[in-house]
């Protein structure tokens, strides 16, 4: 390597200069919030190895929406790919919203009062990657707040690429030939994992403590009706004085799609869910701040991201001494009115992100087993845990050029990253797993989104 190139690489690595050019093409990537931490790791990889998407020393980036870069809602990366400078502009709105965005489709959603509202991210309003106010550095500038309006693009549009936690076959926007929904499937990079957890309690009640496991039929009932007495889960009638409420995602979510599809509840059926805090972030709702415990019936609606579900489940009303177990059930549906708690479905990376904590650090102590198994790498690999999906990368209809090139690079890098970094540790809770470590399949050739694991 010539000395000048070495100097340039060093300066780039230090973030002292940037190769970013306004004229460089922008590739728009959206989709799975459950898998964004994995994608972020590959995009931020400055080594140029097989797990990296960009060339060595060429990566600079900035993120918004979370204190942890891997949990950010918006990310802008710039680097060199196949000798060309390119921006990869990410907005993580959920797998289903992502598929819809790549299909140039708007999915209608309904708020808690039955009023229509557009589902966020389909299509997305993106950060303006070439805005001069952005500060892209090699170590990454991480903004916990949302991007300012001044750095956003002026209009919304569809994505070039999207990560999805299920195949398009069970999607709200399935493949129809010769239409904008005819996405290119680069393939499945690996397994995407999920878990179930209770909301955090500084002072757990006996009822909360007794709920350590939930069965598949109980999950289906909870999805359908939204709440149940704790005794329905524990089998102990003495626990019926507490009601359990379901907390989850909106229609744009691949996590929700996985829960509905893999439980055979029905991929396209309505569910009944609740929010904790101040609603689930729809227009008119205040910003989500876990300072007050407010339980709200959201009907078929839910949270926009896994990070928001994590915040809700970590909400103690900002108290270190009491939580929902000490708060009267606002709906008064349980036999008693002493307290209540919640169960939610979520990606492990969001569940364990300390950036989502209120005052009690999240841990697997709040997780519940399903049919006797805990969500961890070993149980997923051996088939004991069934709530997992196939992580797909899709490209928009007739994708070509640099967008297609980047699609191929992402697919290869992420597949390699999973193999090199995830799985094979029995008690670990990785967000993804490589197929090479899986001892079970879902359907012949891992083709099913609804089958239970089999050997």
Between 100 and 351, name the residue whose CB sits nearer to another protein: 100
- Range 259-293 burial, b when 16+ CB lie within 10 A, else e: bbbbbebebeeebbbbbbbbbbbbeeeeebebeeb
Q: Using an 8 Å Cβ cutoff, are 433 and 193 in contact?
A: yes
Region from 73-81, 84-92, 330-338, 446-454 binding another protein, contact rule CB under 8 A:
446-454
Region from 85-93, 100-108, 286-294, 417-425 binding another protein, contact rule CB under 8 A:
100-108
Single residue of 15, 204, 266, 330 touching another protein by CB under 8 A? 266
Q: Is 242 in the site for another protein (CB under 8 A)?
A: no
Q: Using an 8 Å Cβ cutoff, are 68 and 355 in contact?
A: yes
Min. distance of Cβ 270 from another protein in angstroms? 5
Residue 149 structure tokens? 């309006």
Between 56 and 117, name the residue whose CB sits nearer to another protein: 117
Min. distance of Cβ 105 from another protein in angstroms? 4
Q: Is 180 in the site for another protein (CB under 8 A)?
A: yes
Q: Is 182 in the site for another protein (CB under 8 A)?
A: yes
Min. distance of Cβ 4 from another protein in angstroms? 42
Measure the CA–CA gap between 180 and 397, rounded to whole angstroms: 5
Q: Using an 8 Å Cβ cutoff, are 392 and 186 in contact?
A: yes
Between 114 and 145, name the residue whose CB sits nearer to another protein: 114
Single residue of 5, 6, 21, 115 touching another protein by CB under 8 A? 115
CA-angle at 31, arms to 97 and 388, nearest 5°: 100
Single residue of 287, 321, 445, 455 touching another protein by CB under 8 A? 445
Q: Is 21 in the site for another protein (CB under 8 A)?
A: no
Min. distance of Cβ 156 from another protein in angstroms? 9
Q: Is 387 in the site for another protein (CB under 8 A)?
A: no
The residues, any chain, with a CB within 8 Å of residue 88's CB and separated by 6 or more, are 26, 27, 29, 43, 53, 75, 76, 77, 78, 79, 406
β-bridge pairing 141-143 and 60-64: parallel
Measure the CA–CA gap between 114 and 112, rounded to whole angstroms: 6
Region from 84-92, 264-272, 344-352, 378-386 binding another protein, contact rule CB under 8 A:
264-272
Q: Using an 8 Å Cβ cutoff, are 324 and 333 in contact?
A: no
Between 78 and 442, name the residue whose CB sits nearer to another protein: 442
Single residue of 269, 420, 427, 439 touching another protein by CB under 8 A? 269
Measure the CA–CA gap between 450 and 220, rounded to whole angstroms: 14
Q: Is 6 in the site for another protein (CB under 8 A)?
A: no
3-class secondary structure, 354: helix
Q: Is 312 in the site for another protein (CB under 8 A)?
A: no
What are φ and ψ of residue 309, in 5° steps?
-65, -40
Q: Is 117 in the site for another protein (CB under 8 A)?
A: yes
3-class secondary structure, 224: helix
Q: Is 179 in the site for another protein (CB under 8 A)?
A: yes
Between 83 and 445, name the residue whose CB sits nearer to another protein: 445
Q: Which of 382, 6, 38 is nearest to 190 (CA)?
A: 38
Q: Is 306 in the site for another protein (CB under 8 A)?
A: no
Residue 269 structure tokens? 């059926």
Interface ranges with another protein (CB under 8 A):
100, 103-108, 110, 115-118, 123, 167-170, 172-188, 251, 261, 264, 266-270, 300, 392, 443, 445-452
């Amino acid at each position: 390597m010539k000395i000048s190139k070495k100097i340039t690489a060093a300066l780039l690595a230090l973030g002292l200069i940037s190769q970013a050019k306004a004229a460089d093409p922008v590739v728009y990537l959206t989709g799975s919030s459950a898998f964004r931490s994995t994608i972020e790791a590959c995009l931020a990889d400055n080594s140029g190895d097989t797990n990296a998407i960009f060339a060595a020393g060429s990566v600079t980036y900035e993120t918004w929406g979370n204190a942890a870069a891997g949990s950010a809602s918006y990310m802008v990366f710039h680097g060199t790919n196949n000798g060309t400078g390119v921006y990869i502009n990410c907005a993580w709105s959920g797998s289903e919203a992502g598929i819809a965005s790549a299909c140039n489709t708007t999915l209608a959603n309904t708020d808690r009062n039955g009023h229509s509202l557009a589902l966020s991210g389909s299509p997305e309003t993106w950060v303006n990657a070439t805005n001069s106010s952005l500060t892209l550095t090699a170590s990454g500038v991480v903004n916990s707040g949302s991007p300012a309006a001044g750095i956003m693009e002026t209009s919304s549009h569809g994505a070039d690429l999207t990560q999805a936690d299920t195949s398009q076959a069970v999607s709200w926007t399935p493949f129809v030939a010769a239409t904008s929904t005819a996405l290119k499937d680069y393939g499945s990079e690996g397994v995407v994992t999920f878990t179930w957890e209770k909301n955090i309690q500084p002072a757990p009640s006996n009822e909360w403590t007794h709920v350590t496991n939930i069965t598949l039929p109980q999950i289906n009932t909870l999805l359908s009706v939204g709440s149940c007495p704790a005794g329905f889960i524990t089998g102990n009638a003495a626990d019926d004085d507490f009601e359990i409420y379901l907390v989850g995602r909106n229609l744009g979510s691949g996590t929700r799609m996985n829960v509905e599809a893999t439980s055979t509840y029905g991929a396209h059926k309505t569910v009944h869910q609740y929010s904790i805090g101040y609603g689930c972030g729809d227009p008119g709702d205040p910003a989500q701040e876990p300072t007050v415990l407010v339980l709200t019936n959201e009907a078929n609606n839910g949270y926009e991201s896994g990070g928001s579900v994590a915040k809700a489940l970590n909400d103690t009303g900002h108290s270190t001494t009491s939580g929902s177990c000490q708060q009267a059930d606002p709906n008064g549906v349980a036999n008693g009115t002493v307290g209540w708690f919640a169960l939610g479905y979520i990606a492990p990376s969001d569940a364990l992100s300390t950036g989502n904590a209120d005052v009690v650090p999240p841990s697997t102590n709040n997780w519940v087993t399903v049919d006797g198994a805990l969500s961890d790498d070993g149980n997923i690999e051996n088939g004991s845990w069934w709530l997992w999906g196939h992580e797909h990368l899709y490209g928009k209809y007739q994708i070509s050029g640099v967008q297609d090139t980047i699609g191929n690079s992402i697919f290869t890098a992420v597949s390699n990253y999973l193999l090199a970094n995830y799985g094979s540790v029995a008690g670990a809770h990785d967000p993804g797993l490589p197929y090479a470590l899986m001892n079970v399949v879902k359907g012949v050739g891992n083709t099913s989104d609804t089958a239970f694991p089999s050997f």
